[in-house]
Amino acid sequence: MCILSFIMLAHCVPCRKLAELLCSFCNKTFTAKKHVDPRFLLCVPVLHFLRLESAPFKPPSVVDNYEDIAWWGVKSLNTQSFVNFIENHMNVVEIVKRLEPLFPVDTLLCRACVRVVPFNQLATLVKSLSMSVLVPEVCYSLHFTFKNRPFYFKQIFQDTCWEIIESLTGRIRHLEMSEEETSSQINEDDVKNLSSCLEDTNSVLTLLKTVMNKSYIDSYDILCCICNLYAACYSYTMTKIPQNKRVTRQTSKNTEIDKMKEMYDSVISSMHQWIHTKLPYSLFSSWECGSKTDYTNELKVWHHIFLVEFSDQEAGEIWHKHFLELFQDRVKTAKPSQKVKLFCRKDVQDYHPTVQKTLSDAAFSAVGEICKHAKDSEDLFRTINQSEVNEYGTLLSHMLEKSWPAPNHGENCASFKQILQHLLTWTPFVGFFKMTGASQGHGNILSTLAQEHVAISQSVLDSLTQELLSGAIQTDDLNMVLNNINHFLELYKVTGGETIPSKEQGCHRPDFPNITKILDHRKKELEAFEHDRKLISSFLGICQSIQPVDIQQLQEKVEVNIDELKLSDVCNPIKLDQIGTRLLEVTFFGLSLAVKKMLEPLQKIHSSSLFQNMWISRAKTQHKEKQKRSGTNILSIDEVAVEVWQFVFREIMEVLTKTQTGSLTLKEVDTLFGRFRNHYDQLEKELMQLLGARSKADWIKDRMVQIKQYHQLEDRLDAVGTIINIKKTFGLSGDFNAVLLLSSVRDADFKDRKLESINHEVVTAGIALAEMSHARILCLQELVKQKALVDWLRTEIKDVQQLKVFVDLAMISAGETDMEVDRVKCLHQATTGFSSFIFDLKPDAGFHQLMKACESLWNALRNDEDLPEKLRGVSHHLDWLKGVKESHGSVETSSLSQAEAINTKGIYVVGSIDKNAVVCKKMLLFLSLEAGAIC
């Protein structure tokens, strides 16, 4: 049915009946297999609007309960039959993609689409939609799938669920990265977005609880995948809460924060309960039964739990801390032998670093606990026999030997760099150093090869420390240390870095606070190098606009890979005793002081068009001068810094200073800012960029107004000329200085005036004159032309009150002829409209008083556009007006004035006020009139 036919039908059939017919039509297609077609979805938006379930761009008006079929927007539609038939026969996703642009219009449509998409097509739907992330719709759909279907345990079903949830998580993470955080000021759209995010988060929580009730230990991957989706929604929602309301969870008094905290606590509590219910009473209880399945799966559970990632730092820390403590408590229940054996598993390195570290700490703690009971080498343990001790040593040695890096091809042993990488990335090294160190001294339980590995690792660590102190460390090694700084510091502590060594030992190993300082400075030195490289790279790009410049040597240095270079090759490393007394110094590029000083400010202002024009112009001049001077026009880097940059920078600073003080001439304003006419926002950004953070920029707004008014002066010339003409014509003696300045725009020396001459009065005048349209200017010009009429009215008629009397007299004189009656009406309308000029404008009036009179005139002109013509018409009959004035004597005029005053301000009193007085005819009527009411 075409749209036109449908519209015509809608006029003939009531909406309710039409909705029933449309619903019946869709249901019939579901029952006939050969007619089943997903294109019925194209009718759904019409159905929603007919049933008033949805209005364009408005929230749905249906029940707010996803358990109700009305929530899904498919009320009275037999969608289950449709889904059962098309599940493996038709692709519904393509139709939904066509409908996606309508989702914002019909906010119920997306729910209906998800409802009819078969489970095996949901993942494709989530990935295919370009604009929509249907978190609540998909989560509630999965909720019903888990709740109602018995095959949740099948692998293909779990794989599909995992794919759907992972796709949703990826979309949310992408949204979080691409959108800015909400500012402190939120609008209506922000409120809607926040409400939507809260609904998303709640729907994930609902799905999580459903899966917990239906799943077992082997469904941990789906469960943790949903937790990760929750973490993504939580973090994204937090970006929608303004910064000024995003306080800590403990001090929150914000409704949104409270809701988020409540849901977050519910997730942690539910996960805690699930772990308590589904996992064995002890991590290693299954060992006692001879099975390894449970504890292996449990390690995978913890691995996935620690993989849950919150972008919100506070939430992430709470999550990690809570489940780390829970995991540590379970590990503590194991026997020492179980801890060691578990840590020495072949696959332990496949687990999350938190799992590795917890098992490592537990294993080495177990070994240390056993070893501390030893009295001598023959009686090592009191409670554990020698065979178990040997077993621990064998297991730990085997683990260390297996993890040791293999030599590169053609080498006999692992390289320094391989060992360093292994040392800094393999967390169990901390335990090995503790066990073999002086404080414990249990290294003898390790094999000879394992002890050699520990000794080599200690030697590498010591060598690395000396290189850090001297600055002779390779930059890629330094980056490796900085990327694993917490682990390095832990290694340093357990190998004796917490105490200051004595000078007698001949050791140059600093204490822990000092090694921390050195690391901090080495990091700053690397950052300084990268910072300079970035600035130089930008500078080389900027030089492309002023070629030829000799940049080849510097370009090659910028492109060098410094991984194989030592830190001392790229900078002058600060020694431990120089910290706080010497500045960072990058030496790799060999730049002069002038070039170094140029790079930072150049980077900040190089994109300014004002700067670029000066930069290119100055460079052209220097190219020509060098050509004359030395026969070549190629500038060196130093010449660019001294002859081009320093000159341009001084010019820029002078322009900014003169602009700030207003001492810039109007001619200079034309030269510098002429191209920004009607683009004042861009000019303001330019000045802000050039100014940087050197001073406050409050003055820029004022200068923008002045420059804008200056640029618009020529547009005000007609209005200015009219105002000046009125001043001269009517002899106004007030202050018109601002207008006189505006009128001098065409004077020969006008461009030599300073920008500050466009002061507040001039700006105010310009803004007022901007309101004078062509029609208003013509109206004022007509007033000037009719000066004779205005002068006569001012002389003969003093105010509006007398004008009314004169109009009444003129009406008496007019008789009954239409022409004269119209003449009197025209007189009344014209003089009333121009009354602010005729009666109110005093000879000593200035510009502001004149503009106030104009305001009254503009109101009158708005009601009667023919006022100028009427004034001109009255002026043509000035002689007639004079005759009317002469023909009516002062007595008649006075009588009409008195009558007018009585009618306007008189108060009649009927009867006697004094009840005791004798009533007579003279006392029955009184007239009360204020003094001065009759002129």
Q: What is the pLDDT of residues 21-72, one digit of tens each?
A: 778 877 777 766 665 677 778 888 888 888 888 888 887 777 678 888 888 8
Q: Is the pLDDT of residue 102 over 50?
A: yes
| Highest mean pLDDT out of 333-347, 650-664, 701-715 | 650-664
Segment 401-413 shows an average pLDDT of 84
Q: Is the pLDDT of residue 588 over 90?
A: yes
Q: Is the pLDDT of residue 449 over 50?
A: yes
- What pLDDT shows up at residue 544? 92
pLDDT tens sequence across 692-711: 755 567 788 888 888 888 88
User: Contact, 232 vs 169, CB < 8 A?
Assistant: yes
CA distance 513 to 719: 76
Name every residue whose Cβ is closer than 8 Å to that of residue 412 and which is 6 or more positions away in sequence. none
User: Contact, 867 vs 837, CB < 8 A?
Assistant: no
- What pLDDT shows up at residue 484? 92
Name every residue whose Cβ is closer than 8 Å to that of residue 79 and which is 6 or more positions away in sequence. 30, 115, 116
Average pLDDT along the chain: 79
pLDDT grade for 518, boundaries at 50, 70 and 90: very high
Q: Is the pLDDT of residue 297 over 80?
A: no
| Highest mean pLDDT out of 99-113, 203-217, 645-659, 919-933 | 645-659
- Supply the pTM of this predicted model: 0.56
Closest CA to 615 of 649, 574, 661: 649
Segment 459-467 shows an average pLDDT of 92
Segment 357-369 shows an average pLDDT of 78
Q: Is the pLDDT of residue 481 over 90?
A: yes
Q: Is the pLDDT of residue 10 over 60?
A: no
Which alpha helices (H) appear in 336-483, and where do they start and end? 336-343, 353-371, 386-403, 416-425, 429-436, 448-470, 475-483
| Highest mean pLDDT out of 80-89, 367-376, 783-792 | 783-792
Half-sphere exposure of 789 (CA within 13 A, CB side): 24
Segment 794-806 shows an average pLDDT of 78
Segment 748-765 shows an average pLDDT of 81
pLDDT tens sequence across 852-901: 999 999 999 999 999 999 889 888 888 877 877 776 545 444 555 555 55
Segment 701-725 shows an average pLDDT of 84
CA dihedral 681→684→690→693, nearest 10 degrees, is -110
Q: Is the pLDDT of residue 468 over 70?
A: yes
Q: What residue type is assigned to position 66 of the chain?
A: Y
- What pLDDT shows up at residue 8? 53
pLDDT grade for 430, boundaries at 50, 70 and 90: confident
Residue with tokens 């990268």: 530
pLDDT tens sequence across 150-168: 544 567 777 888 888 888 8
Window from 392-396, 414-418, 456-460, 828-832 with minimum mean pLDDT: 392-396
Dig out the tokens for 177 from the structure. Answer: 């990265």
Half-sphere exposure of 892 (CA within 13 A, CB side): 12
- What pLDDT shows up at residue 754? 85
Segment 74-97 shows an average pLDDT of 76
pLDDT grade for 506, boundaries at 50, 70 and 90: very low
- What pLDDT shows up at residue 651? 92
pLDDT grade for 123, boundaries at 50, 70 and 90: confident
CA distance 599 to 810: 84
- What pLDDT shows up at residue 738? 84
Name every residue whose Cβ is closer than 8 Å to that of residue 887 and which is 6 or more positions away in sequence. 813
